[in-house]
Amino acid sequence: MTLAQGGVDEAGGAAVIYLEGDLDMQAEEKVVAEIETALDGPQRDVVVDLSAVPFLDSSGVRALLRGREAAQRRGVQLYVRDPRRIVLEVLQITGVAPLFGLPGAA
């Protein structure tokens, strides 16, 4: 898993984190740490870009949920954007997609 914090999105004032690679057990702690680092900034929200994530398992879902909880404690929102179809399906099947601003199961 490659992590790159994208800085602040000028249009929305959100910190954007770009993830690349599998979001699995090996990446879980790195992802949570990156989200928490992004939450230390002055932005209103945090956006996790999943466009380069081909695989997401339950550990990846847990990492995103942990990040969301950390964001809520700070009074900001955590969103997910641009998941690949299979990643979106995992988020929908587990019922968490709407928590991240994504459509629920069809």
Q: Is residue 33 part of a domain?
A: yes
Range list of H helices, 15-57? 28-39
Question: What pLDDT score does 1 carry?
Answer: 58
- The total domain count for the chain is 1
- Strand-pair category, 77-81 with 2-9: unpaired
Q: Where is average pLDDT lowest: 13-17, 52-56, 85-89, 92-96?
A: 13-17
Give the range of the structural domain holding residue 55, as residue numbers without chain letter.
2-100
Predicted confidence band at 2 (pLDDT cuts at 50, 70, 90)? low
Question: Which token pair is 1?
Answer: 């898993």
Cα distances (angstroms) measured from residue 94 to each of 61, 76, 99: 8, 23, 11
Q: Are 50 and 81 in contact (CB under 8 A)?
A: yes
Predicted confidence band at 13 (pLDDT cuts at 50, 70, 90)? confident
**CA 55 remoteness from chain centre:** 13
Tell me what the mean pLDDT of segment 89-105 comes to.
93
- Kindly report the pTM of this predicted structure: 0.89
Domain holding 77: CATH number? 3.30.750.24
